[in-house]
Amino acid sequence: MNETYPFSLEPLPYDYDALEPVIDAETLRFHHDKHLAAYVEKLNAAIKPHQDLHNMTLEQLLTEPDKIPEEAKTPVKNNGGGVYNHQVYFNAMEKDEFTTPEGEIGKAIERDFGSLDAFMKEMTEAALSQFGSGYGWLVNNNGKLKVINLPNQDVPLSDTLYPLLPVDIWEHAYYLQYQNRRPDYVNNWFSLINWDYVNKRLEDSRQWFEEHQ
């Protein structure tokens, strides 16, 4: 994806069938090629008339709302959030092989949750308690890991929050395969987590906080 406008649809880092049987190819193709593509298209359309926004990165568009013209604030927030959240979601998954977090992320989960099981329980509760559409998130909260949920395409990116790992609980993420069985989808999703990617985001979060505090 381009760093600035015009943003482009970032290809998946794996084949459409790579996440089966947890997420089938039809769901993944529809989610990426239709839903994410629409967010990219609408974000570009919102930015196009505003030359001052053309050199802003996606992170800047999401964290510097004072620079966004009033008529573009809502479409940039919603569609920019949709692009950002989906990029993290897709990149934070890999082939269905349950692995455990190692390195810094493993130590941080043990420190802040007590165990991987305790983290998974908290993440599940966050995902299942979110009313309607949104995400369950593992975030770095200024040096401490925390689980939160956020509605719609809100992004946990600020001077004190950095997003590490999302589970997408919009119905388009699972409904073709799981229908109304959101708990089954969330439970199975844990086997897809790409902990190397999450560990990299934990490293990135430290630089983010240094630059924004």
pLDDT digits (tens, 9 = 90+) for 68-81: 999 999 999 999 99
Residue 112 near residue 122 (C-beta atoms within 8 A): no
| pTM for the model | 0.97
| Predicted pLDDT of residue 2 | 79
**What per-residue string of b and e applies to 133-143 under the rule 16 or more CB within 10 Å gives b?**
ebbbbbbbbee
Task: Report CA dihedral (201, 190, 149, 26) to the nearest 10 degrees.
Answer: 100
> Annotated binding residue at 196?
no
> Annotated binding residue at 24?
no
Residue 182, pLDDT above cutoff 90: yes
**Domain residue spans in the chain?**
25-91, 103-212
Report residue 201 as tokens. 């985001």
Q: Which CATH fold would you assign to the domain 103-212?
A: minor pseudopilin epsh fold (3.55.40)
| Predicted pLDDT of residue 213 | 76
Which tens digits make up the pLDDT trace of 122-165? 999 999 999 999 999 999 999 999 999 999 999 999 999 999 99
Question: HEC states along 39-99?
Answer: HHHHHHHHHCCCHHHCCCCHHHHHHCHHHCCHHHHHHHHHHHHHHHHHHHHHHCECCCCCC
> Annotated binding residue at 31?
yes
Residue 155 zone, left/alpha/beta (φ > 0; ψ -120 to 50; rest): beta
3-state secondary structure of 22: coil
DSSP letter for each residue of 155-167: ---SSSEEEEEEE
Distance of CA 133 to the CA centre of its chain: 13
CATH superfamily of 25-91: Fe,Mn superoxide dismutase (SOD) domain (1.10.287.990)
pLDDT band, very low/low/confident/very high, at 36 (cuts 50, 70, 90): very high
| Predicted pLDDT of residue 58 | 98
pLDDT band, very low/low/confident/very high, at 96 (cuts 50, 70, 90): confident
> Annotated binding residue at 172?
yes
